Structure 1
Amino acid sequence: MKNPLTRYIFQNQFLATLLFLLVAWAIIQLREVLVLIFISYILMAALYPTVEFFKKRKVPNTIAVFFTYIITVALLAILVFPLIPFFVSQIQLLFESFPQYINDSAKLLNINIDSNQFKALFAEELASVGKNVFSVTSRVFGGLFSVLTVIVVSFYLMLDYERIKKSVVLIFPKNDQGKALLIIERVQEKIGAWLRGQLILSIFIGGITWIALTLLGLSFALPLALIAGILEIVPTIGPIVSAVPAIIVALSISPTMALVVAGLYLGIQLVENNLLVPKIMQKAVGLNPIIVILMVITGAKIMGIMGALLAIPFASMLIVITRNIKHNN
C-alpha cells in the first residue's frame, strides 16, 4: 500500500503537477552532474562482470575492483593513449584537406561552389579542435576534472554496487523489492552489454574500413576509418554520416570510385547488421530505428554531441525498465 503522503500528492492534480515541474527543473539545473553520473554508471556496468569474475574465484570485493581498474588502465595506457596524438593529427590533416576534396568533386560534377566559404568553415572548425590530447579530451568530456570525476564515481559505484542496490530497493514496498532488484540487475546487465558490444563493433568497423580503403588506394584511409569507428556508437545515423566524407574523397578521384566506396560502406553495414550485431549485441536491447533517430536528435538538441551519444543507452535503460514492469504486471 502506498504511503499516505504519496497517495495524497498523486490524488491532488495540482500538487502532482507541481512535483513533476520541480523534478523537471531540478533535472535541467543538474543535467551536467547527472550526465557525469550516468557516464560513470555506464562505465561501471561495462566493467562489473570482470569484478564478478574475480569474486567467483574468492577474491575480496575491494581487491577485485582494484584488479579490474588496474587491468583497464594498463590496457588503455598500452594500446590507446600512445596512439591518440597520431590519430588526432591524422583527423586534423583530413579536415585541412577536405575543402580541396569538395572543390575537386564539384569540378568533376560541373558544379560551381565557392571554395573560400568551405575553407573558412573548416578553418573555423579546426580552430575549435584541440591541438593536443588534453584539449580534445576537454571537448569530449568537458574538462580533465570531469574525466577524473567519471573515473572516481564509477570506481566507488563498483565498490559499493551491492550496497547501493539494496539501498535503492528499500524505497519500494516490501512485496515489490524482489522485482525492483531484478530490474536493477537487468538494466546494469543490458547497459554493460551495450557498451562492450559497441566497443567491439567500433573496433571491427574501424579496422575493416581502414583495410578496405587502403586496398582501394584512397587517401586518408586511417582518419576516415577512425571516423567510421567512432560514429559506429550512434546506430543508424552514425554509419551514414561516416560514409559521406569517404565518398567525397573518392569522388575527387572519379565517380566510379565514389560508387565503389559507397558500395563498400553499404556492404560493411549489411555484414554488421546481419552477422555481427545479432551475435555481439544479443544481450543488449534492440532499438527500433525510428526510436534511435528520435532519441539521437533529442539528445543532440539538449546536450550536443554528448547528448546524441548518451541518448541510446538512456533509451535502452528506459525500455528495459518498461518491459520488466509490464512483464511483472
Structure 2
Amino acid sequence: MQIKWNNILKYIVIILIAILIVFLFIKISILKEILYLFVVSFFITYALKPFHEKLVDMGVNRSVAAIILVFGIALVFIGAFLFVIPYFFRENLNLKNALNDIQNLIDNIYFSLKPSKSSGILNMLTNNLYYKIHSVVISFSGRVYDSLMKLSSILIYAVIVPIVVYYFLSDEKYIEHNILNLFPIKSRNTVYNISCHIDKILGRYIISQLILSLFVGIVTFVILLVLKVDFPFILSLINAFFNIIPYFGPIFGAIPAIFVGFIKSPKTAIEIAIWLYGLQQIEGNILSPKVTADSISMHPLIVILLLLIGNKAAGFIGMVAVVPLAAVVKIIYKDLIYYIF
C-alpha cells in the first residue's frame, strides 16, 4: 500500500509542476503568445486527427498524410480568404461608424431616462449603469477593431500554426514515445492507458465544439441576412467564435448582433434576440447532447467557476482551454484511482 501512495504522490507532483509551467506561460507575455499558438495548433490538430488516422489506415505514410491535410486546409483557407476578404473589408469599413452609432444610441437613451438631481440614489444608480455600459461598448469596439487590424499577428499565426500542426500529426507516435520514456517502466502501461482515455475524450469534445460552432455560425448568418442586418458575416463569425465557450459564449456572441440590430430598429433587435435564443436552445438541448455524447460531464456551477478562473488567467483563450484542461485533470484523477487501487 505504501508503494501505491508513493505513486499517487509522484503523479500529484508531476501535475503540480505542469500547472506551474502553465502559470508561468500565462504570466510572462512572450510565453503567453507561445501558449496561445500551441493551443490553437492543438485544437486544429484534433480536428484533423480523424482524417489523418483514416489516411494512415489506407496505407498513406504518416508524414505524407499530415502534409496532405495541412495543404488541404491551407487551400481551403486561401480560397475562403480570396472569396470572403473583399466582402469582409467592405463590412469592416463601416464597422467603426456603426460602433459610434451604438454609442450615440446609448447616450440618447441615458439622457432621455436620466432622473432629476433630486433623486439622489436613483441618479447615482443610473449614472453608474450608464458609465458601465459606456465602458463596455468602448472596450468592445476597441478590441474588435484592433483585432481586425492586427494582420501581422494573423499572418504569423497563418505561417507557424500549420507547421506546428504538421509536426503534431506526423510525429505523434514519436512524441508519445518520448513522453512515456519520462516515466518508470512499470508505470508506462498505466500512463499509456490514461493518455488514450484523455485522447479519446478530448478528441470528441474538440470536434463536437467545432461542428456546433460551424452550425451556429451558418444559421446566424442566414438569420441576419433574412432580417437584413448590417455586417452579417462579421456578426455570425463572432457568434460562432464565442459559441466555443460554454454558457457565457452564446450571450457574448449574441450581444453585438443585437446592438447592431437596435441601430436599425428596436423591433429588429428583439427579433434577433428571439431567433438567436431559439438557435441556442436547439443547439444546446437537441444537437449538443447528440454530438458531444456527454464527452465532458461536469456540473454547470463547476464549469462556470472554471470559466471565471480561465478568463482571469488568460482571457478568451483561457475560457476556451480551461474546460478541456479540467476534464484532463478529472480523467487523470479517476484513472489513477482505478489503476492504482
TM superposition score category, shorter chain reference: 0.7 to 0.9
Q: How does 1:114-153 map to 2 (within 5 A)?
A: 124-125=142-143, 128-131=146-149, 135-136=150-151, 138=153, 144=156, 146-153=157-164
Shift in CA distance, 325/98, structure 1 to aligned 2, threshold 3 Å? same
Indicate how the Cα distance of structure 1 residues 37 and 223 shifts in structure 2: closer, same or farther if over 3 A, else same.
Answer: closer
Question: 1:213, 1:20 → 2: CA distance?
Answer: 44
* C-alpha deviation, 1:293, in angstroms: 2.8
User: 2:197 touches 2:331 (CA, 8 Å); kept in 1?
Assistant: yes
Does the Cα contact within 8 Å between 2:96 and 2:145 map onto a contact in 1?
Answer: no
The answer to whether the 8 Å contact 1:96/1:123 transfers is no
Aligned-residue offset at 1:137: 6.0
SS of the residue 2:113 aligns to: coil
Gaps of 5+ in 1: none
Distance change (3 Å), C-alpha of 1:167 and 1:276 = same
User: RMSD of the TM alignment (CA)?
Assistant: 3.9
Q: Tell me which residue corresponds to 2:94.
A: 93
Name the CA distance, whole Å, in 2 between partners of 1:33 and 1:84. Answer: 27
In the TM superposition, what is the alpha-carbon distance from 1:283 to its structure 2 partner? 7.0
Pick aligned residue for 1:161 from 141, 157, 172: 172
Q: Number of aligned pairs?
A: 315
**Aligned counterparts, 1:241-320, within 5 A:** 241-282=252-293, 284-320=295-331
Larger deviation: 195-204 or 76-85? 76-85
Kept after mapping to 1: 8 A contact 2:310/2:319:
yes
Q: What is the aligned partner in structure 1 of residue 113 from structure 2?
A: 111
Cα deviation for residue 203 of structure 1 reads 1.8
1:229-249, Cα deviation, whole Å (9 max, x unpaired)? 111111211111122222233
Q: Give the secondary-structure state (helix, strand or coil) at the position aligned to 2:60.
A: coil
Deviation, structure 1 residue 26: 5.4
SS of the aligned residue for 1:209 comes to helix
Listed one character per residue, the Cα deviations across residues 285-314 of structure 1 (whole Å, up to 9, x for unaligned) are 244433333333323322333333333332
Contact persistence 1:191–1:313 (CA under 8 A) = yes
Instruction: Provide the residue aligned with 1:239 in structure 2.
Output: 250
Counterpart-to-counterpart distance in 2, 1:163 and 1:125: 40
- 8 Å CA contact 2:98, 2:260 repeated in 1: no
Unpaired runs of 5+ residues, structure 2, are 115-129
Tell me the CA shift for residue 209 of structure 1.
1.4
Matched residue type, 2:176: K
Cα distance, 1:150 vs structure 2? 3.0
Measured after TM superposition, the shift of residue 69 of structure 1 is 1.8
In 1, Cα distance between equivalents of 2:228 and 2:205 = 34
Q: CA deviation at 1:85?
A: 5.2
SS in 2 for 1:234: coil
Q: TM-score, normalised by structure 1?
A: 0.77
What is the CA distance between 1:211 and its match in structure 2?
1.5
Contact 1:102 1:252 in 2 (8 A): no
Instruction: Summarize deviations over 1:171-211 as a string: whole Å, max 9, x none.
Output: 33434322311222232333333332222222211111122
Q: Distance in 1 between matches of 2:33 and 2:136?
A: 33
C-alpha distance in 2 between matches for 1:129 and 1:148? 18
Deviations 1:119-145 (A, max 9, x none): 9767755763444xxx2461xx6x71x
Residue 179 and residue 295 in structure 1: after superposition, are their counterparts in 2 closer, same or farther (change >3 A)? same
CA shift digits 1:216-239 (9 cap, x unpaired): 333333332222111111121111
Task: Please report how far the alpha carbon of residue 2 of structure 1 lies from its aligned counterpart in structure 2 after TM superposition.
Answer: 9.8
Q: Percent of counterpart pairs with the same letter?
A: 25
The TM-score normalised by the length of structure 2 is 0.75
